[in-house]
Structure 1
Amino acid sequence: MTRRSVISLVSAALLATGPLAGTALADPPANTESADPGTVIGNEALPQSMWIDGAGSARKLTYWTRDSSDRPALSTGVVFTPAGTPPPGGWPVLSWEHGTVGVGDDCAPSVAGRSDRDMGFLATWMKQGYAIVATDYIGLGTPGIHAYLDGRAEAHAAIDMVRAAHAVDDALASKWVAIGQSQGGGAAVFTASLATRYAPELDYRGAVATGPASNIVDAATLIGPNTPAIPSSHITAYATYVFNGLKAARPDFDLDSYLTPLGKQAVADAQTLCFQPLADRLNGISLNQLVSRPLSEGDFVSVARTVMDVPLTGYDRPLFLGQGTNDTDVPAPLTAKLVADMTAAGTHPEVHVYPGKDHSGAMLASLADSVPFVARLFA
């Protein structure tokens, strides 16, 4: 394999990325096994400076969900409802699954805020008359390290955010759609594969995923001490989040056996530093300097597949996949492989390709197709 192809694959996978009274955070149940998914234990007003344009209210919730091993875990998220009077039956709901921000508590969108790109994107949906519920994911603002790219855990948090929102706002309709970008795009695909089974009482209609993270483990098999140096602090930063996510999802996994002393320090730094500060700190450090042996050795691949491999079956509602041809975060060949694998397994997503668009550009360009797609789902 050429140096160019190694860089391309590694780069691709590792960058894939109502008015209520405020309540204090309740004491968690002594027996967390009895903490039903979607149970709200905290409800507070979100500062108006963090509201999506067009919102009439915004509440930050802390709620119970389940990790990928089906153990109780806490997540936070925000319920945004449009200004004005809800339609008959209530506001239809979009569950937003965000892209990479980091794994530390200070990186949670409900704490740090959202990028201008995401705020503009979400405002488009808000102005269509949809309520938006936006999970932070487990570990972003709650105990523990966020299990980055742990698809089932992210999907559970997104679905249980819908449950939690219904628990505090009776102006919401039961019908809902999942939408995600990059890390959240992969999470939205996971969500689509299990939504009706995990929460049969909700009226799940379908999902939209743009630039969805996929094929992470396949790319990881190319990484080792002798991998050609990749001069991108962004790639190195994303790799440290992947390592942290795997360790958070599977605590018994011996991650340290794969890391150099520099790698161990970088992974530790990633637990608290959000993306850009982490990338700045890792400037000049290449991915191959983090690992002491190839990730293809030992049980890295077998363990990581149980956490990060996107399901190929289980989709019982429409699924929209959007991809830019000039995306360097999640290049088109990776999404093409995902689509081909899904098709071979009998799953047929609706695929939209955006010529000349990069990662963010495809997300925004997709609105021309995804807005009518979602409208049809709610019809």
Structure 2
Amino acid sequence: MAVRGRWLRAACCGAVLLAALTPAGAAASPVASSTPPAPGSVISQQPLPDELSLPGAATATKLEYATEWRSGEPTVATGALFLPEGDAPEGGWPVIAWAHGTTGVGDDCALTTRTPRSDLERTYLQHWLDSGYAVVSADFPGLGSEGLHRYLDGPSAANSIVDIVRAARDGGAPLSERWIVMGQSQGGHAALHTAAIATSRAPELDFRGTVATGAPANLERAFTIGVPGFPDPGLWGLVSFSGYIFAGLRDAYPEADVEGYLTPTGREVVDRAEELCYDDLEESVRDIPVGELLARPLAEGPMPALLADYLAAPADGYDRPVFLAHGIHDVMVPLPLSAALAADMKAAGADVDYRVYVAGHYTTVERSRADVDAFVTRSFE
């Protein structure tokens, strides 16, 4: 394993160096090319600092591994592996791939770099460790690794989630082939995208199902009602989330005039979004009305097609059960957005259990836990 690890590090470093020396959009020289590591290959692993670990974790490891952007272009991502206390059962620990909520898009916002997990997330993940599951958690491409993290780029996040499960096994951890994906908020959106590709991307694994709470859905439709001077709808974090989305759009579609839809204030917010993690960005935009971001209606020109391509959560492609939950008091992601998705999923033939709780955006995680416990137990039977 040590020899193989050194080979992987050497191969990846060569690929990263080549990418750094190649202009964006240009083809690499055939003479200098090398085959990048296969998606899910471990590049490096090291202990995670205590302040970034989880209570109840016997070991906490930072993984650097190979994955791909939605285009298929190879990239390097980071994430964490947490193992429970005690000896692994026969066949290895069953795996929960946790997709985290919004932290930001800058490298300092990665959960394996400097940003500790919230108390809610730490408690929730400790529950799964104490219940006998290993937990892996991808940072998502560009978050703590090369490139800009494209916020709510579901296909790229999904690749990194599937591939961190492979990487954790590739690194020698005693893990079962059986796994599920689970996510909250931004992570719920990523979990849904993961569910649509998990079996086809990693047929060597045994994917069992999906849990998504507070998942943003149908944003591509909601955003097209945005116009200059749009009144404040009372949604928490809307200016910050908009800044992250436009930063991702600007990076993903450089040929499109994304900035042409923004006022000078809007462009300043997007520039800040590329640097500031969520709490700091929220503080900096607190007094900026959302209506001051836009210079033209988002329903005009190419923007509706860009939003649909970039933001849409999948309505079909699910070959395993999905537990989809939302809070009626969610003032970050309004409940009707996920209700419409659940209806579309059912119409497409998905096995989806849609639950609504008397809860807010974050408290849905705890209010749904008993039902999620039952779903996870059934999924691993």
TM exceeding 0.5: yes
- In structure 2, the residue matched to 1:251 is 254
Aligned residues: 357
Is 1:147–1:246's contact at 8 Å kept on the other side of the alignment?
yes
Q: Please tell me whether residue 263 in structure 1 is matched to residue 266 in structure 2.
A: yes
SS of the counterpart of 2:362?
helix
Q: How much has 1:348 moved relative to structure 2?
A: 3.4
Q: Give the one of 149, 164, 167 matched to 1:161.
A: 164
Please say which of residues 245-254 and 133-142 is displaced more in the overlay. Answer: 245-254
How far apart, CA to CA, are the structure 1 residues paired with 2:140 and 2:299? 29
How far apart, CA to CA, are the structure 2 residues paired with 1:231 and 1:92? 41
Matches within 5 A, 1:346-357: 346-354=349-357, 356-357=358-359
Is 1:95–1:162's contact at 8 Å kept on the other side of the alignment?
yes
- In structure 2, the residue matched to 1:329 is 332
Q: Please tell me whether residue 220 in structure 1 is matched to residue 227 in structure 2.
A: no
Unmatched segments (≥5 aa) in structure 2: 19-32
Q: Which amino acid aligns with 1:288?
A: G
Is 1:231–1:285's contact at 8 Å kept on the other side of the alignment?
no
Q: How much has 1:185 moved relative to structure 2?
A: 0.4
Q: State percent identity of aligned pairs.
A: 42
Q: Give the one of 88, 91, 100 matched to 2:90.
A: 88
Given the two structures, how large is their TM-score scaled by the length of structure 2? 0.90
Q: Which amino acid aligns with 1:105?
A: D
Given the two structures, how large is their TM-score scaled by the length of structure 1? 0.90
Is 1:233–1:286's contact at 8 Å kept on the other side of the alignment?
no
How far apart, CA to CA, are the structure 2 residues paired with 1:296 and 1:347? 30
Change (3 A) 1:267 1:233: farther
Unmatched segments (≥5 aa) in structure 1: 1-21
How far apart, CA to CA, are the structure 2 residues paired with 1:339 and 1:261? 38
Q: Which amino acid aligns with 1:322?
A: A
How far apart, CA to CA, are the structure 2 residues paired with 1:93 and 1:110? 19
Q: How much has 1:323 moved relative to structure 2?
A: 1.2
Matches within 5 A, 1:159-308: 159-230=162-233, 234-308=237-311
Q: Which has the higher contact order (CA 8 A, sep 6+)?
A: 1
Q: How much has 1:25 moved relative to structure 2?
A: 6.3
- In structure 2, the residue matched to 1:45 is 47
Change (3 A) 1:33 1:225: farther
Change (3 A) 1:232 1:365: closer
Change (3 A) 1:232 1:191: closer
SS of the counterpart of 2:88?
coil
Change (3 A) 1:297 1:33: farther
Q: How much has 1:259 moved relative to structure 2?
A: 1.2
SS of the counterpart of 2:40?
coil
Is 1:232–1:283's contact at 8 Å kept on the other side of the alignment?
no
Note the alpha carbon deviations across 1:254-292, whole angstroms, 9 max, x for none.
211111111111111111100111111112111121111
- In structure 2, the residue matched to 1:345 is 348
SS of the counterpart of 1:34?
coil
- In structure 1, the residue matched to 2:60 is 58
Is 1:175–1:204's contact at 8 Å kept on the other side of the alignment?
yes
- In structure 1, the residue matched to 2:23 is none
Please say which of residues 230-239 and 317-326 is displaced more in the overlay. Answer: 230-239
Q: Which amino acid aligns with 1:297?
A: E
Matches within 5 A, 1:97-112: 97-111=99-113, 112=115
Please say which of residues 344-353 and 137-146 is displaced more in the overlay. Answer: 344-353
Please say which of residues 39-48 and 309-318 is displaced more in the overlay. Answer: 39-48
Please say which of residues 171-180 and 256-265 is displaced more in the overlay. Answer: 256-265
Q: Give the one of 141, 152, 165 matched to 1:138.
A: 141
- In structure 2, the residue matched to 1:9 is none
